[in-house]
Amino acid sequence: MARKSELMSANAEYSASFAKGHLPMPPGRRFAVVTCMDARLDPAKFLSLEEGDAHVIRNAGGLVTDDALRSLIISNNLLGTEEVFVIAHTDCGMLTFSDEALQEQLGTDMAFHAFPDLEESVRESVRRVRESPHAADAVHGFIYEVETGRLREVA
């Protein structure tokens, strides 16, 4: 419950001086980012984003799953984004387990999309966007280095 109080207090402080309700729905910088949910990544900071600049889609591993692709298609076709940046990161938890092990542990057949190769994971996500006839044509893959804060492009 303490976390809920902290969040509500932080939101009250934020909303007291909020002055960005006028921003348009389409992202101003006309791009979307798919990145990991890892708490060490703050895409607004490492990409210098402000509210209204970009669509940021986050999930475990920064993967272009069916749901992420759905969001990218909406972003491109209805809200005018023209580029997609897929950004994975070093020291990703998705490298530390297999779907089979977690499925067995939890007693489920859910797909978790764990992967053994970070760069190949980025290439696969980039490929999924490029092969979609409804997503943006310009797609770039990167790895964010949690150790340095730098991005490096994946060929």
SS3 at position 14? helix
Question: Cα separation of 85 and 2, whole Å?
Answer: 36
Count of the separate structural domains present in the chain? 1
Residue 37 forms part of a structural domain? yes
pTM reported for the whole predicted model: 0.94
- pLDDT digits over 88-111, tens only? 999 999 999 999 999 999 999 999
Residue 10 forms part of a structural domain? no
Residue 97 forms part of a structural domain? yes
Residue 65 forms part of a structural domain? yes
CATH number at residue 98: 3.40.1050.10
Residue 110 forms part of a structural domain? yes
* CA–centroid distance for 65 within its chain: 11
Residue 1 has pLDDT above 80, yes or no: no
Residue 5 forms part of a structural domain? no
- What percent of the chain is predicted at pLDDT more than 70? 99
- pLDDT digits over 26-38, tens only? 999 999 999 999 9
- Residue holding tokens 């070093």? 90
| Cβ count near 84 (within 10 Å) | 29
Provide the domain limits for residue 78.
Answer: 26-147
Residue 19 forms part of a structural domain? no
| Cβ count near 34 (within 10 Å) | 31
- The answer to whether 55 touches 106, Cβ cutoff 8 Å, is no
- pLDDT digits over 108-122, tens only? 999 999 999 999 999
Residue 85: closest CA among 104, 102, 68 = 68
Residue 78 forms part of a structural domain? yes
* Amino acid occupying residue 37: M
